[in-house]
Structure 1
Amino acid sequence: MPGELKVVAHLSEPIDKYMLEDFAALEQFVAAELIFGLVQAVEGQLLAGDGTGQNLEGILSTTGVLQQAFATDPLTTARKAITRLEEQGLEPTGFVFSPADWETIELSRTSGSGQLEVLDSPVNRAARQLYGVPVAVSAGLTDGQGVLVSRDSVMRTDAGIAVAWSENVGTDFQTNQVRARCEVRAAVEATRPGGIVVIDTDGTP
């Protein structure tokens, strides 16, 4: 069901409890690594989750989102995506690209000159903006596919990330071992699917 909160969790390997007592920073390190991995997983689900089982229904799987076909080059295509929203009176608030696609956009060259576009470029590398719209980079997107969202078109809801330790897994209690579980309840709610544009950044079928 779209918008339904689902649990996304990571579980650590068993760790000797005395190691945690002897090395004060170990517990914090393990928790930080689990949180990092969880955030990466949730980000991928928010964008590309297929909605099956415990998977979130991500933006790319949402019915009713707009599609912007590749046009000439990534810069032109991105600008046309902005127009799709502005034609509806909507305000574009953020692009999302894969790391490789954003690199391609940042390194765009003036046609025929071979020089990097610095003057009059729609790319603001320092502020990470494209045509004045903020850009986020996510490994959760496949190369060749970007997303542009408008204000109030997507809502992410969650109950906050929690990390808990337990010895109640398998034989952990018998062997003086504990594990950490990091989890969050998250959902994607496309409040206005027509305010989301999925962008073909390379024209590959």
Structure 2
Amino acid sequence: MSLIDRAKNILFSPKTEWAKIDAEQGSIMGLFTGYAMILAALPAIGTLVGFALSFGPYRYFGMNYFLVTAVAGYVIGLGILYLMGIIANALAPSFDGAKNDLSAMKMVVYSATPGWIAGFFGFIPGLNILLSLAAFGYSAYLLYLGSQAVMKVPENKAVGYTAVTIIIWIIASFVVMAVIMSILISSIIGTAGLVGAAAYR
């Protein structure tokens, strides 16, 4: 199945798509290289579009801001996704689910689809917030469905499993955001210092 078809189906017919996903063979590497690494680039592409159009904060900080934000967000975001797959897999038995490395990665990767697509429009003031909230809610729903389909968590425990996974995901994301902001601020200060030093020569 093509990447576009998979993304479309997981968004518009998730229940039937999760059943197909559960039956599929594959590898974690293939899941990342053939899906996650491609769609995870959408927010970075959106940032580039915002830079080209001088939307949002990009017009103030320039290309340096874009490079640091896009590259750091992309790499660390994929790292967090992989970490969440490990955590989701470890949590499954506590909610009567079945441990399976590949299934857990499938669940978190495909559930992240709405966030990546919404992230493309992150350069649009106002709309980005609404899309982010909608994507978060829908990703939670996909995770809920996926927990039952691929991790075999009973329906009566799927809400708890989903909630715990999301809470951990949010905490991890806040930590990542702090790291990105630290890198970004250091980069901006460093650039400003170089410009100031050049001005005094």
Fold match by TM threshold 0.5: no
Structure in which a larger fraction of residues adopt strand? 1
Structure in which a larger fraction of residues adopt helix? 2
TM, length-normalised to structure 1: 0.26
TM, length-normalised to structure 2: 0.26
Larger RCO of the pair (alpha carbons < 8 Å, separation 6+) = 1
User: Radius of gyration: which is bigger?
Assistant: 1
